[in-house]
Structure 1
Amino acid sequence: MFVDFEQMPAHAKVWVYQANRTLDKKTQKVILDNLKNFIEDWDAHGKTLKGSAILLYNLFLILAVDEEHNLASGCSIDKSVHYLKDLGTHLDIDFFDRSKQAFVQNGGIVLENFRNLKTHISAGMIEKETLTFNNAVTTVGEMKSDWQVPAGESWLAKYFQN
């Protein structure tokens, strides 16, 4: 059962998928239309899941499920992962590329390769205050409060130590 993302409670489980490229409006519509259909039929051992999906910043796909309605099982989670991999293959998007970190810079979102982060921090291109994304958040509530954080308060903090 698909519901609007704004109707998902704070305790709803989320998975944050970062695309490997910026998504244009046409591609976003295709993704959301496909995910709405997927979520309408999404179940865990025959029990309907109450879920939602949203695209943010033309880059992040957030998939959510309200586990107070029914628990997502390992099989249902695997089904969503396989669906996203297949959809990504069809649209030439990789939602599973973990080699880049996103930052808010110059009014937009910039993807930086992990191997360049230390150099960019040392050069002052990424500062402690530069907003980044914690894609490891697990609930809607955490996403709203702890998804965007200053780099100096993220896992990158170790690179700002002198």
Structure 2
Amino acid sequence: MTLPDTLSNTTRLWVYQANKPFPADAVPEIRSNLQAFARQWVSHNRQLKADADVLHDRFVILMVDESQADASGCSIDSSVHFLKKLQAEYGVDLFDRMYFSYQDGDAVHTVSREEFARRYAEGQINDHTLVFDTLVESKAAFDAGWLKPLSESWHARLV
């Protein structure tokens, strides 16, 4: 999976992971609202070159190509405010970093850190299990390794 080619590889990126999937029938509306937010997102009264998407019904991706204008503290605060409204509306938590997501075939699972460690200890997941790296910070890093084997990710030190 890759991000839009309209943004440079140095585009700054934030991944917000929901602790559970958004309702599938709500994803088109969520995507539309995210993209509307990205189109009006500003920093110090300067329009940001931004985009947003929802992936796998649980990952909110915000992107800003800072070659035009940098995302500032105020603009980042506005995105957090928007995301907090989104999480309240859909009953998910987008800010708890102690949930991990992994892929099993075509299915994506999101579990607590403790459950993730238990599944690893019991052999339900292993070093080859593909995990989602929510700490990627650029479009290039996302494209190169958002989904990677557990043994190659920061998750490995937590199991």
Q: Same fold (TM over 0.5)?
A: yes
Q: Does 1:70 align with 2:69?
A: yes
Deviates more, 1:131-140 or 1:93-102: 93-102
SS of residue paired to 1:6: coil
Q: Does 1:91 align with 2:90?
A: yes
When residues 15 and 112 of structure 1 are mapped into structure 2, their CA distance, relative to the original with a 3 A threshold, is same
Deviates more, 1:62-71 or 1:95-104: 95-104
2:40: which partner in 1? Answer: 41
Query: How far does residue 21 in structure 1 lie from its aligned partner after superposition?
Result: 1.6
State the alpha-carbon separation in 1 of the partners of residues 20 and 146 from structure 2.
19
Q: Does 1:138 align with 2:137?
A: yes
Where structure 1 has 5 or more consecutive residues not aligned to the other structure, the ranges are none
SS of residue paired to 1:10: coil
Query: How far does residue 34 in structure 1 lie from its aligned partner after superposition?
Result: 1.4
State the alpha-carbon separation in 2 of the partners of residues 154 and 84 from structure 1.
26
Deviates more, 1:88-97 or 1:71-80: 88-97
State the alpha-carbon separation in 2 of the partners of residues 129 and 28 from structure 1.
29
2:23: which partner in 1? Answer: 24
The alignment-based identity, stated in percent, is 32
TM-score, normalised with respect to structure 1:
0.89
Number of equivalences: 157
Where structure 2 has 5 or more consecutive residues not aligned to the other structure, the ranges are none
When residues 92 and 119 of structure 1 are mapped into structure 2, their CA distance, relative to the original with a 3 A threshold, is closer
**1:71 aligned partner, one-letter code:** D
What is the alpha-carbon root mean square deviation over aligned residues?
A: 1.7
State the alpha-carbon separation in 1 of the partners of residues 120 and 35 from structure 2.
39
When residues 82 and 159 of structure 1 are mapped into structure 2, their CA distance, relative to the original with a 3 A threshold, is closer
Query: 1:5·1:53 contact (CA, 8 Å) conserved in 2?
Result: no
TM-score, normalised with respect to structure 2:
0.90
Q: Does 1:156 align with 2:155?
A: yes
Measured against aligned partners, the alpha-carbon deviations of 1:101-127 in whole angstroms (never above 9, x if no partner) come to 001014210112101233221211111
1:112: which partner in 2? Answer: 111
SS of residue paired to 2:5: helix
State the alpha-carbon separation in 1 of the partners of residues 84 and 158 from structure 2.
32
State the alpha-carbon separation in 2 of the partners of residues 44 and 13 from structure 1.
14
State the alpha-carbon separation in 2 of the partners of residues 109 and 97 from structure 1.
18
